[in-house]
Structure 1
């Protein structure tokens, strides 16, 4: 892997990587690899690192040679941070980012609604951080180099694909000319303008919203502004529209301004037009615009996420509005869902049907996110006068009435999907608590060897049985985590969140999702649940 060169732009940083000729280009026969990932963004790199940590070699192809075109995605949710922590970069990202948990929604300049996303006490990861996407991508590129087994090839553009029953052959264009590569599986993580999707003739289905939004990164000194998400409906500085502001690292602020469906993009991108808009919002503060873009957004997906040996993830598979931070977070969760399943199939631990569960689970997640995004957009940008009147009435009632506060929708913020999964063993016993079958395990404070930590630090890359008391014999490939022996539930939070009693047993998948639980279980029940979770 090449070493990045950091180059200052007028405002911001670009990490540039050199094209390096691979030995596959000089091989006498077409080289074959277990997995080729197309796209070195957050989703593709997450999948590659996760597979590499499971001893699966990965080739990553990207048609670019740099990171750093504006901040783009900035908002990363607790579940996504837990995934990054399992991959070895979570703590560094939290340290680098801006942690927040408070949100406020205004009608005009009056507070209509406020919320607090404070996680349960003792959780390792915060509710959200804000961090420019180029910092995340740089951390992922560096981590890929550390773990090994990831061959990251810049300026390698896929131009053709031919599928077979046992894999796919890719044609790749480089500065040295074309070459071919075989893969048992291909992960298409090449974004909203996916070449892989076009090559296979797959089409998005869904809705494109006509309203246009201006998005900008602004550098300014503003220590007096609290670190919180601020959303305005019909603010005095931007009458009749909406506005959003988030703090980022480096004294940078993300600003979104709704422009309406009739806005002229070319005109709005002129400094003489966008700078006055931003100044009306920020007042007399000195500021510098570092990056600006205008976008319309879509709520749509392709029909199937698995096409032969090509598996789609992230924006290549589905698109949502940016309100609610559901795009990048959902894409990273796609990658985690896929990686352990692909590794199990490649190692012969499961049949190919396990890959079908990726489609079932992540189509459910995509539909859930599209639904939330569509409803948010309808609330933020009403399509008729009657809808706007109803929306404003809800906002006016929100400070006084709980039912109205529940109806306010400036973007339902990203949470992990509770999968209605074919891999889960249905409950035979009754459980309450915050843990849900098909959802990620809730984190909780624990101690091990008198050292404080959290549950998810002990549930990593394997199937794990969490036993409150002695556990029966478990199948090969399953780790036992005994509460009282391996870890101590010193606050009682773990038992409370899992609704555990003495004898309770929980089976977590390698992606930390809960797939089975019992008040009492024997080795036969655990083995059956393990086989089901592997797609048998």
Structure 2
């Protein structure tokens, strides 16, 4: 394969020679979600132990499509800029029916954002960057490879784990157990938790192809191309993305009666790829045949065991909702878990992680299921509807809104949920931060750099912000005894207005909006967001 899979070292853990002190947090799974969870906690001064049964990053590109919101979160964690530099940036998608393009769309048509709508970057790079970022916190992150959790028991005030290593088995204790162990979560299976949803019988082939000649033809800028019933794959669907290192991701629908073992062979795959790329030379880098489910747990919090990412919910790969949804999970959980461990918030705050992220995952599953049902009609009537929509879309814009080839990942709103204080503003409580460029005394910056990671009060326009313990302050187009910035090119004012004060949570969601700098009201909103009323 193109990527050099260098194994990480196994170090015999201290638990084999004697009891370990109770860990504040044990994270099971060193994929992108578990590693990012550890970095998030470390940035807040919380120690964690990460256990993984493997010692290399993910084999195959797996998740490749990282959304703007995910990149903003990774920016806070210290790897966003590195991902952007390596990744392939795109924002234009093209839809084809047969050989004809029926329409295209632009996912980020306006300027003034630090990060693009999406980048494509193989999961193994993301994991590598997060492992290396973890090494910046040697006193806060203990990352143990070839440490497989084979059992656990929730004791009420802690969880007891049994861990298997090449040198033997040991036990340890954790105040909180964070299960980031993927779609086949052994944690979830041991607890016999229902994982309900819809299973799709269609098989899909994923192929990563290395080639110097772009299959996009005259389109120099990377894009997302999706075909319904292309000439090279009659009656089915196909998807094409570019990744770094001249690797192209090709997804081909194969149908429900496919034999995965037969299809995932060079004899079967190479002729299919030649139908797409013609005589251009290429090399197969990785391939897999899969079918998928859209499913989730009813609750993500079970006592001291917390489910994050694919262990809590799975979706189809169309729409880039799996990995991106998992990153939004950890962004939601990290500050809450740190606040509870510090004693700044009641344990009930952890329950709001389940409330907010089951809502987010249900939204993702709804969109993902709709996309998959459109792509793989289950009845003649559904097939007729889809075909007529595709026929009309080439001539009539209204029909284009009905095409669903995986509507791409967007962060959900938390409006109306317990931690938000009701209010009216251009960006309402519950909405996630909308980035904007700023100019300050120390040069250019971005709103996401100044707000995320702590409770932050942001005043737009000429208004003085009160000083409140536990809340940072910044002003935009104003002056005060705290950091103040100008709205570069006016983007921030256009997006937020010039007459409001916004209180942002550490994860970048607006939790309250004010028209006057009332210290008592702002303090009450912050305490509510920290679970005081729970």
The answer to which of 486-495 and 505-514 deviates more is 486-495
Structure 2 distance, partners of 1:354, 1:471, is 31
Native 8 Å contact 1:12 1:290 kept in 2? no
Structure 1 distance, partners of 2:361, 2:407, is 14
Residue 534, structure 1, aligned to residue 530, structure 2: yes
Structure 2 distance, partners of 1:15, 1:447, is 42
Native 8 Å contact 2:511 2:529 kept in 1? yes
Native 8 Å contact 2:296 2:314 kept in 1? yes
Q: How does 1:108-127 map to 2 (within 5 A)?
A: 108-118=98-108, 120-127=110-117
Structure 1 distance, partners of 2:432, 2:467, is 21
SS in 2 for 1:13: coil
The answer to which of 369-378 and 64-73 deviates more is 64-73
Other-structure match for 1:106: 96
Which residues of structure 1 form unaligned runs of 5+? 1-8
Question: Over residues 361-396 of structure 1, what are the superposed CA-to-partner deviations in whole Å (9 max), with x where a residue is unaligned?
Answer: 000011000000100001111112221121011011
Residue 512, structure 1, aligned to residue 512, structure 2: no
Residue 490, structure 1, aligned to residue 481, structure 2: no
The answer to which of 170-179 and 489-498 deviates more is 489-498
SS in 2 for 1:291: strand
Decide which of 271, 292, 295 is 2:266's aligned counterpart.
Answer: 271
Question: Over residues 152-185 of structure 1, what are the superposed CA-to-partner deviations in whole Å (9 max), with x where a residue is unaligned?
Answer: 0001111111112211011111111111111110
Q: How does 1:125-136 map to 2 (within 5 A)?
A: 125-136=115-126
TM-score (norm 1): 0.95
Structure 2 distance, partners of 1:416, 1:474, is 30
Residue 137, structure 1, aligned to residue 127, structure 2: yes
Alpha-carbon deviation of 1:81? 0.1
Alpha-carbon deviation of 1:31? 2.5
Native 8 Å contact 1:220 1:252 kept in 2? yes
Other-structure match for 2:455: 463
Alpha-carbon deviation of 1:490? 3.3
Question: Over residues 433-490 of structure 1, what are the superposed CA-to-partner deviations in whole Å (9 max), with x where a residue is unaligned?
Answer: xx24212210001111151221111113210000133444343111011222321113
Other-structure match for 1:351: 346
Decide which of 416, 425, 433 is 1:431's aligned counterpart.
Answer: 425
Other-structure match for 2:62: 72
Other-structure match for 1:4: none
Structure 2 distance, partners of 1:157, 1:138, is 20
Other-structure match for 1:49: 39
Structure 1 distance, partners of 2:368, 2:188, is 23
Alpha-carbon deviation of 1:403? 1.6
Other-structure match for 2:210: 219
Structure 2 distance, partners of 1:120, 1:313, is 33
Decide which of 142, 148, 168 is 1:177's aligned counterpart.
Answer: 168
The answer to which of 454-463 and 330-339 deviates more is 454-463
Q: How does 1:398-417 map to 2 (within 5 A)?
A: 398-417=393-412
Structure 2 distance, partners of 1:471, 1:201, is 54
Other-structure match for 1:451: 443
Number of aligned residue pairs: 520
SS in 1 for 2:5: strand
Alpha-carbon deviation of 1:24? 3.2
Other-structure match for 2:252: 257
Which residues of structure 2 form unaligned runs of 5+? none
The answer to which of 436-445 and 375-384 deviates more is 436-445
Native 8 Å contact 1:119 1:127 kept in 2? no
Structure 1 distance, partners of 2:55, 2:408, is 32
Native 8 Å contact 1:24 1:31 kept in 2? no
SS in 2 for 1:488: strand
Structure 1 distance, partners of 2:6, 2:389, is 46
SS in 2 for 1:147: coil
Structure 1 distance, partners of 2:428, 2:197, is 30
